[in-house]
Structure 1
Amino acid sequence: MRSKYVSVSVVLTSILASSTSWGFDATSVPVVVASTTSETPTVTTATLSKPVTVQPVATAADAKTPEEHSAEIAKQRETVSEQLRVAQLELDEAKEKPTVPAKQAEKLADDVDQLKQLELVHAQRENAVARKQELLAQQQAVRDKIESLESKGLGEETTFTLPMLDVARDELLVEQQRTATVQKQLQNAAAAVEAAILARDEKERRRRAAQEAINNKPKPEDRPRLEAELARADLVNRIATATVELKQLEAANENLSAELQGLNVNFLAAKVAWLEQHVEYRPEDLQRQMLELDRQETHLKNSVVQSQNDLDYLETRYRAACQRAEEPGGDNSAVKAEIEARRFARTVEQDRIMLVNRQLARFSHIRKAWQRRYDNANETTSFASLKEWKKETDLYLVGMDLEQSELSARLEELRGKLDEINTRITTLAAVPDANTFEVRSLKDSATYLQRLIGLYEQDLGNLRSVRRLSDKLLAEIGASSNSVNASERLRYVWDRVAGLWNYEIFKTSDDRPVFVRTFALAVIAFVIGLFLARVISRFLGSRLLPRFGVDANASSALQSLAYYVMLIGFSLGALRFANVPLTAFTILGGALAVGVGFGSQNIVNNFVSGLILLAECPIRVGDLIEVDGLFATVERVGARSTRLRTGANMEIIVPNSRLLETNVVNWTLSDSRIRCDVQVGVAYGSDLQRVKELLLKAAKTQPQVMFEPSPFVWFTDFADSSLNFRLCFWIHMNSLSQRLDIETAVRFSIDRLFRESGVQIPFPQRDLNIGGSRPLTVRVVSDDEAVKRAA
């Protein structure tokens, strides 16, 4: 639970932390820090890291009291005034005497001007001293206010309400915004002092030069001229010296003014902190505020009605002016000026209605802001509501920023038009025979434009006041959010996570929402459906159908078809559960058809081929097939591809379309019986009937060889080295390795029987015939002779 009553120091720290949202830089102004050691908070002056600092200017008058300083300046002014009176009399006498040389008269006039300037500087110094006394008095008054606030507060009889706190905050904001101006004034005052000192030093150098010229004992005829130059240089130096003192006084006053501004900031900050601790958020105050808003809203609505009536009247006058412009004859320039004035008048009323309607639209936000401020102060708001209020207010401020930019641009445009019209009025005023009616129409247009500019400035001010109210709400929301305990924050995070469950992802074509909840459940339903489709289809193909006498191949085909049918059904059910209309698949079907015609044709071709294989069953699970000279057993016929396994235990994935488009030998499609051939050759001269009997015996002795059809032997050829026979017999073949095993066993048996019976299996023999005129001579030679012959 947030504590309602906190110390002034804590409240003030909150103010300074949120000062940027109120529009000022809290690091550049003095603040107050309150102590809560006693029942009444004690407010003391303190500064932040960048306080308002002033550098006092050291002057000779600092050791004097303001009264003494003022008396000294008055005495100097009286002396100058007496000198000015004497110089003015001499100048007047010189003007009356024609015998006085012109140069002497000019010197007298120059002296009079210099004395007048000196007298003016002394007068300004007197005013500066008086202002210093006034600033000191104001500082003392503010210090008294601070002491009173420390000891008594703002009083106990008055009820302190939220509007009073807002007024104090606005006053503090204004004072703190003056900080930059005060700093600039201090810099300007210091620069003025430096410039005055430089000018005085220059004048002092000239005076010393004039004095040195006299000290050098000039000629008697030059001495009067040098004395006159010295007197003039001394007067100019007196003016420069007085100017330096004046600028120093003004700089000192700026320092006092900065100190006063800092004291005001301290007092107002302490006042805001005190009010925040003692303000009462009563329902009747909120009701009074709402009644005031209702009154303002009613007033604006009435003004809209009045403006609409005025607009109708101005529209009539504008149309009448346009009709006069279409009439032949007359002064077209005057009529055009009248039309322009009527148009401006109509624009003023149209914009007035628009701006008032904008202000009326802001009342809803203003009421919410006030209600939320009171609810937040009375601790009737949850942390989740605070976050929601902040989000809404931030979003509203974004719109206000855009509206403010629009208003500023419109004001700039209207001011440009007003300058243009004023220029035309000035131009026509210089023309002697200018059309009076045109000038009057232009002045009316200027008047309407000034009214329109005033309306926009008024709406801009209203917008800024609403912005300030929103900023205060945000600052209070931030302060309340910072004081929320950890349990409430965790509850908010949990609610946010739970809220995502009902977040709308998108909407369907029939304007039905799809939430995260429905989408997640649809995905879960699809996954469960996919699992059930696999389990049910496997149970159907491996358990149920075989019990009804369905063979393995048909069971596999029905299992695959059942799987895809159930998968489609569960998918459509999941989409329906997620509020996705199934009518959308009519459009999807057309798009799918286009996709099939381009990039998806191979995939769909394989899928359709898989359906054909499952329906016609030219290739079944367990069949031994031959594809491109490769023997393999079919393990699975899928929707897109078929899986084969070779005798070397290699798995091969073949696209279904390839099995239909190429020649495939299915050794076990309708019958597993196949005929095997074993060829063998015997030597010439062997007993052929005996060979035949032995071959038939070798086949019949193998248990895997079928008796029906019975084995038989073909005498195939008289070869070069042998007599060739072919033994043919039938077996049931389920795999290629089985066939090769049987053929191998038959060959082993033939070899054994032939050896027992003395039948020879010849190897290739060649007869070499060498022709010549005489017989070949054969003799034995030694190794040495053989080497020599070879060489």
Structure 2
Amino acid sequence: MKRLLLPLAAASLFFLTAGATRGEDSLSGDFSKPAEITKRLENPRAGIAKLPADADPALLEPLEQFAAACQFHLASLDVRAKARAERDKAAADKLAWSGLTEPPPHSILLLDEVRETLATLESSRRAGEAQLRIFTSQLEGVRDRLDTHQQSERRAQEDAESATTPEDRAAAERTVESERIASRIAAEEIGRQNIRMDARQAELDMIGSRIDLAQLRLGALQGKTTFTRQDLDGIQVKITRERADAIAALTDSGKARQTPDPLLAWRTEFLDLEKEFWETRFAATTDGANRKAALASLASFKTRVDDWAEIARLRLASGSSAATGMDPDRLREATAQIGIMQRRIGFALTDLKAGHLQLPLLDTITGRLRALWDAELYLAEETEVVDGKKVASYRAVTLGKLARLALILTVGWLLLRFLSHRIKSLLTRKPRIGPDTADLAGKWIFRLGLALLVIYGLNTVRIPFTVFAFLGGALAISVGFGTQTMLKNFISGVILIFERPFKVGDQVEIDGVLGKIRSIGLRASVIDHGNGIDTLIPNSNLLENQVTNWTFTHSLLRQSVLIAVDHDSPTREVAHRLLAVAAEHGLVLDTPEPEVRFEDIGEKALLFRLLYWFDLKRVSRDSLASDLRFMISKSLAEAGITLAGVNPLRVELSPASPSGNPSPSNPDNTNPHTP
């Protein structure tokens, strides 16, 4: 029964395909018109429809292959039509391009976009050329297969004609029909391959036009692009946003699984590297002085990114991504991002080496100033205790930090000056606080505030105090010896302030030098000699040496004038005249009363002394003594009394006792107060 079904099936197959094969060569017909292909497709479909449901697969399979070949042929026509339309559009775009619409300088991001597009098109062209070579090889294979089927068909036809039995004839005829269908399928595939090659060539032409257009745009951008701070800020905002999303996703993945997603961890590291790359590139493009260092940094970036690309490629090739918990599709996406970064680094290296970027003058100056501002002068080590352990860190001392510190100190110094003067003015108005105390309080407040200001400034600009360790031990010892005297005077000044043996305005005598204390500072005091000359005396000298304070308790002083007259002068008249002169002068005090003493009878003259009291705050002793001399000389001349001796009018000064009278232990008051 099986032997009877086979001839019948072969006969049905023969008649089903007879319309497509009888009287026609396998390569006859038009393989580029959809109508002809559709007409040929109807025959295998009709044959498949007439076969029983339990038909032999050996009969059904050739018809299905023939129908599939026709369908693929029709689809190839659509692909070719679309490719030709895109080719024509790309050619028209290239012809219509007349240049960039925006004036230069252009953003470096636009330059990178054009170069990225050009690199992608070059890669697509290489892929298209490789695919075209594959199509050509496949076409040759199909043609060889067609020749083989046609030869088999001719041999089977000869076997059928020379067969001696019905069974042999039927078998030969089945072979003839099978080889004829196979030839028909091969002919359809040849037509489809020709159309595919035509479509691929159209795509290559389209890519070529787009490459030409990209090269035109690239040529228009070369030497006219710049990298602005606005571009960098936009990139950093984008990277920061993506990194925050990656960290959030990494945290969520760590909660959902025992180990975090390795691709998300890689993503965060990659974004950090990308941010560092853009900052380095910006610094290199805006500061020509650091281009050599930037080239080295970019070369280091390239090595790291190349290593990542090699790892990703090997994992994809070996299939180890699943073993490490990586999604292959996401790993391919990450590999594509690595490829983009590789090209970006290549673009940056090309720009730096060839000098294609146009640097605006303002950006260049800003970059150089920023580099100078961030120039590191010294690295200071700072030690902190964290969890009971000492952790050392380093902080750089830069020109920018020093400039900020100088600004803080300058503004603070001005404010402290104003504050100290204001406090001094307020204290001066207090009845119980003298001017010297108010002045000293202002100075103390100023110096204390200045010390706090230095500490605040160093902390604000983040300069550790250990920065002063570079002075070294030897220099520190030298500074210690140098400041020994200063510290000694400072402590002496503090003692003078609290013990108050002197105060501003006191008349003092130091080593034979007489003058008025103008100010008492922390290191030295100023003595006014009354002749326009001031002397700075270290405070330690005021404590260690003998100092005479003429106004320690009050400002009343007793001064004497020595008068020498001839031997024949009336002594009582001389005394009366001297007292009258003292009483007549308005600045000589009435209490204690002036006094005249007959000092001595010399060989050449009689010596008289006029003692009188005056207030040093009201009159200068030299001025008062001069007035009295004039008045004494006039009064004695009117009385006919002649002055005698080499120094007839000599003045001697002595301070008053606290009671205004001579001291009991020293009735002549010849020694002033010595603190």
TM-score, length-scaled by structure 2: 0.43
TM-score, length-scaled by structure 1: 0.37
